[in-house]
Amino acid sequence: MRSWERRESARTGKPVPQVLAELIEQSGGKWEVIGAMANMTHQAAIRMFERNGISKPKSKAFAFRGETASLMAHCKKYGLCNNSVSQYAQRNGISKADALELYVTGQVKKHHWGVPQ
């Protein structure tokens, strides 16, 4: 029996890694959506990627200064509080990457509660 990714590769004429990369792109990186698009459970979708040696980045990961990681990992690297960065981004209607850039470059004044400003 042939697997979904092999059938899709034969149907489209694209190599299997490209088919799986496009599946990640179209699904937004969510396992449940990948499974639904491939007409399988999300567990089967995970096994399909493992079988082909392809790792999917976490759906909440984003690129910042050439490194792809979660907000928590980026903040840990730069010694920032991820809740502060996340709330700043939400409050100002900007992306988390943009908020992180503002924090890292010192353009956001840190406020310490209970300390005279």
Using one digit for the tens of pLDDT, what is the confidence trace for 46-93? 999 999 998 887 778 888 988 888 899 999 999 998 898 999 999 999
DSSP3 helix / strand / coil % (the chain, rounded to 5): 55, 5, 40
Cβ atoms of residues 47 and 36 within 8 Å: no
Q: Cα torsion at 112, 113, 114, 115 (round to 10°)? A: 20
Using one digit for the tens of pLDDT, what is the confidence trace for 4-24? 999 999 999 999 999 999 998
Residue 45 pLDDT more than 90? Answer: yes
Residues found in the chain: 117
Residue 1 pLDDT more than 60? Answer: no
